[in-house]
Structure 1
């Protein structure tokens, strides 16, 4: 009896086998997925009759000989709504039926699940940086033109490396194999072409080992799989797992079962960054749930939501959409469901595996097969893609009472609350009714995006009954990349609209620029610090709107530092400037919409102001609790950590100090050639400031202040965000510099951003932080009282 006939005969039992699996007690059928509750499709907002179509599809493909069997698991944040085992996990030398707990060789699913996720854990810990050259961690890698390849290049397959170097390069031991890889030269110019490469992920596996001292198998087990309860996931499975593994092909006349199929991984001992991971559908579902929950596992945060968001952010790589370690929509995504959203990420494996996770649809689809068994001829990617399409189509648009799942652009994959809706999201949802018939000038930059990543420019340009006349850009220009004292006017390439710079000869819109406009719309992301100039741009534009009888609309956005803690000196009226627009404290705890209302009232501006409020944002939320993707608001504001440090560290940059500009960590470090790093760090640590510690360092800025000069200083490390007070910390650093280095620290321009004469004088004369706080308190309490009537959010 040939294999195809055998499959046809045995598949007549398929439906009953699936029903039998469904009927098994949960303790038996779902013993390894106990943490993920099994629910009916209806409880998860899925249509059971639509999902049942999967049976017929799989049956047809098994009959064709494209696979011996498979496991399909579909779920949402509320649990697993579909889990069935089809066909066989082994046909030769003996027949074994497929079971839900079958262990599969995941092949290239190793890349995102083990390697990329491990890299992101190291990124989150500050041990690896995406923009850093790989040679920073593996110096030997820099040979033959590879010195500019970064971690992100490898994660997105644009490092120019060969897909696979010859198998012979691995046949003389691992030491020789790595030497051969280090000596490779790029095939393509770095960062210009998408070329899927196993070699790149082999190298990433070594980055993990160099940084942590642990191979990818150990690091991933300890930091990902064990915390997730993925007890049946790992490299080199033990005997019990091998016994229920799906069989692949023969090697040396022996069937591979629980041994890695990839020949290069095998020659490296079974552990590699590109292949070698084994797992079950139930375990993979746990990982998928963590992604849908924005890094949360059983109520604890395994990864920051920002880490998960960055990992899943789409990059256009040579016409292919890729995320970090994941596929999004590329020439390799034939296993992708056709109805998935733009936020879906996924990957496949050569052995016949696929996983897709769609945060917007709140959906994951696990497809595991061993397509190569027994003849090496199987094909499953189209089948996996059709199953994904069925899964997405099964979603019921009505809210599921069981888990409050809403299938819409505002559904919340992050946690039990909904993601924040930005002002632009609300305006778009309401079909731009507020701007109907208006002729609009839009004040924005690269941060003016809706929660799906679409530009406010494009949305307004395409909106019916809205005429977008022109664009106005703030400091750093429309793209947020310029660090120049004056920025010229330009034109937006996508729309052809003129872009008037509000950081050039004039910083306030003038009559000529406002010709033909009846409404100014403001949509720029602020960072919650008084001297960040986007506030001033809004304030001056608000004044111009009043002077020219224009409507002014603010599309509100979160204060990324939250809206609760308010601290620091309040600006003196006599010290108003473009870096100090209004009498507010350094850390003001207000949104741009709230500030606009304060400016209008306190400056008595006769202007028609309207704020489009956010939804699902509360004052106690920092950015990483909103479910929104972070966009660097300016060239040297590259992370939420730096934004948190900026109110205190930024105060110091007008003095003869480097605050890290020209390094990879602006505002996380300060230093100068005249500082004794150990002395300063010890002094500051003795102050026992809450939520922060200081590490003595040496660094050399590439540009900006002290460019190419060796500096000593400190790395400011936030250890408890809730306790940390950035302005207090900055003031204590200023006091330390005044006490330790009175002849070296030139504080003549320190008041430029501090903007409070009394506090400046007290520091220059020598005082304590307690005395400073007493000095600051009266005006600060007055500001807190003033701001209350303008607060929009609870």
Structure 2
């Protein structure tokens, strides 16, 4: 398998263009090739020197935790400025006109994890929109979806109008099966951005869409501080829902999104409740843990670890939706949904932004059946497979 960055040095039309123009690079720590060489080193090896770098959420170097403003910096190796695309305002998520005025081409290489909430795909789309408006062509180096591109794994209701945000700029299922290139090409084409001109994509070659990242011919490189393994990415479409609650999603442990709970949760009761739902493909193991930072830092929490036993039957969105409903039912006095600002939105609860409407939260608050709520949230739009075909066609139209 060859990802976009693997193919880049073998494409003279692209490398010669980079060598003779001013170009910027939007990347992060997982922007590596098959030999685990970072894009900055790959570009240096072929004699291409970026005029500036852009960094998404967590930063170009990947040091920042979630929802932490990242300052501008300077690359120590090249001296080029690093422009942060994650500040304290929504406007900070896109490259500014003055930054784009200093380059002739924007090169994008970001590793996604196949979940709507993961913000890198939306950073890529916002950057593409800004570049197109400024007349700066974009070359996107595509990467495979680490939790497969199989349509059989699509899960999660698309957002209804009024619930779009940086954890879902466009209405798509939570687990969508697309690559970052397919997603950007899909919406760029719909917006009239010329494919193959304003947006070109170096596609992935030799990818088996049924395979997970741990079956690829390379190690999994964490794209953000709390996404250490392929197993994390598999549970993340469900585990991220806990960000909309006061349950710990396991940040501050060695297995975020797999280990979850709170000081007032009885792990055995929660595990029993999950088994009673009849949802398949996982084992919920009761445990106690002490997060070292973020929610309930330093406190002993009760909870469960979600062990995925069968990837084909495991439905992360359904599983964790049921988990949230059961946690609230177990201790409604202490359980709360997050009401603080979340990804630049002050007026809509985070759980609603994550699930795509207020229906699931209201059903949980009303004490409705956990399995029924899980089925509602996890059911994708039946037309989405047709949209994936549209995305594939858009990718081929933009392909180099």
Q: Same fold (TM over 0.5)?
A: yes
Instruction: Give the unaligned 5+ runs of structure 2.
Output: 339-348
2:50 counterpart SS class? strand
Alignment equivalent of 2:68, drawn from 464, 485, 488: 485
Q: 1:548 to 1:791 in 2, by over 3 A?
A: same
1:470 and 2:72 equivalent?
A: no
Pairwise CA distance, 1:791: 2.1
Q: Give 2:356's aligned residue.
A: 755
Q: Which residue of 2 aligns with 1:546?
A: 132
Which residue of structure 2 aligns with residue 638 of structure 1? 228
Number of matched pairs: 373
Counterpart position of 1:717? 307
Cα shift at 1:461: 3.8
Per the TM alignment, residue 665 of structure 1 is displaced from its structure 2 partner at its CA by 1.3
State which of 669, 681, 684 in structure 1 corresponds to 2:259. 669
Is the 8 Å Cα contact of residues 438 and 467 (structure 1) preserved in structure 2? no
Q: 1:613 aligns with which of 203, 206, 220?
A: 203
Whole-angstrom CA distance in 1 between matches of 2:49 and 2:77:
16
TM-score by length of 2: 0.87
Q: How does 1:510-659 map to 2 (within 5 A)?
A: 510-564=96-150, 565-605=153-193, 608-659=198-249
Q: Secondary structure at the match of 2:157?
A: strand
- Decide which structure has the larger Cα Rg and report it: 1
Matched with 2:35 is 452
Q: With a CA cutoff of 8 Å and minimum separation of 6, indicate the structure with the bigger relative contact order.
A: 2
Q: What is the distance in 1 between the residues matched to 2:378 and 2:15?
A: 41
1:467 Cα deviation from its structure 2 partner: 4.9
**Structure 1 residue 688: Cα displacement:** 3.0
Structure-1 separation of matches of 2:373 and 2:271: 22
Q: Which residue of 2 aligns with 1:16?
A: none
The aligned counterpart of 1:93 is none
User: In the alignment, is the contact (CA less than 8 A) between 2:58 and 2:68 conserved in 1?
Assistant: no
Residue 279 of structure 2 corresponds to residue 698 of structure 1: no
* Native 8 Å contact 2:321 2:373 kept in 1: no
Shift of 1:738: 3.4
Aligned to 1:429: 10
Deviation at 1:782, TM superposition (A): 2.5
CA offsets 1:162-189 (integer angstroms, 9 cap, x no match): xxxxxxxxxxxxxxxxxxxxxxxxxxxx
Secondary structure of residue in 2 paired with 1:624: helix
Answer whether contact 1:569 1:759 (CA < 8 A) is retained: no
Larger CA deviation: 524-533 vs 768-777: 768-777
Aligned mates of 2:378, 2:283 — CA distance in 1:
24
Match of 1:586, SS state, is: coil
How many Å separate the matches in 1 of 2:238 and 2:167?
15
User: Are the aligned partners of 1:445 and 1:479 in contact in 2 as well (CA < 8 Å)?
Assistant: yes
- Is the 1:440–1:470 Cα contact (8 Å) retained in structure 2? yes
2:265/2:330 contact within 8 Å kept: no
Q: Secondary structure at the match of 2:147?
A: coil
Are 1:687 and 2:288 counterparts? no
- Equivalence map 1:782-793=2 (5 Å): 782-791=383-392
Contact 2:285-2:305 within 8 A present in 1 as well: yes
Q: 1:589 Cα deviation (Å)?
A: 0.9
8 Å Cα contact 2:283/2:306 also seen in 1: yes
**Deviation digits for residues 15-41 of structure 1 (CA, Å, limit 9, x no counterpart):** xxxxxxxxxxxxxxxxxxxxxxxxxxx
Alignment match, 2:342: none
Contact 2:317 2:377 in 1 (8 A): no
SS at match of 1:585: coil
Q: Shift of residue 606 of structure 1?
A: 5.5
Report the CA distance shift for 1:642/1:458 in structure 2 as closer, same or farther (over 3 A): same
Deviations 1:732-770 (A, max 9, x none): 212222333333321254223222233333333324534
Q: Give, in whole Å, the separation in 2 of the partners of 1:730 and 1:602.
A: 33
Q: Per the alignment, in what secondary structure is the counterpart of residue 265 of structure 2? A: coil
State which drifts further: 478-487 or 430-439. 430-439
Query: Could you report, residue by residue, the CA deviation over 1:704-730 in whole angstroms, capped at 9, with x for unpaired residues?
Result: 110111111111111112221111111
Higher strand proportion: 1
The answer as to 2:25 corresponding to 1:442 is: yes
Per-residue CA shift, 1:100-139, capped at 9, x if unaligned?
xxxxxxxxxxxxxxxxxxxxxxxxxxxxxxxxxxxxxxxx
RMSD: 2.1
> Tell me, what secondary structure is at the counterpart of 2:234?
helix
Counterpart in the other structure of 1:203 = none
Is the CA contact (8 Å cut-off) linking 1:528 and 1:560 kept in structure 2? Answer: yes
Deviations 1:261-287 (A, max 9, x none): xxxxxxxxxxxxxxxxxxxxxxxxxxx
User: How far apart in 2 are the matches of 1:643 and 1:611?
Assistant: 24
Contact 2:8 2:202 in 1 (8 A): yes
Deviation at 1:435, TM superposition (A): 5.4
The 8 Å contact of residues 424 and 555 in structure 1, kept in 2 or not, is answered as: yes
CA contact (8 A) 1:762 1:772 kept: no
Gaps of 5+ in 1: 1-419
Deviations 1:128-170 (A, max 9, x none): xxxxxxxxxxxxxxxxxxxxxxxxxxxxxxxxxxxxxxxxxxx
Cα deviation per residue 1:462-483 (whole Å; 9 max; x = unaligned)?
Answer: 435x552111011111221211
Report Cα offsets for 1:446-491 as digits up to 9, x if no partner. Answer: 1111111222123224435x55211101111122121162111111
Change (3 A) 1:680 1:550: same
Inter-partner Cα distance in structure 1 for 2:270 and 2:42: 50
The structural deviation recorded for 1:595 is 0.5
Distance 1:471 1:783 in 2: 35
Displacement, 1:434?
5.9
Q: CA offsets per residue over residues 470-519 of structure 1, 9 Å max, x none?
A: 11011111221211621111111122211111112511100111122121
Q: By how many angstroms is 1:598 displaced?
A: 1.3
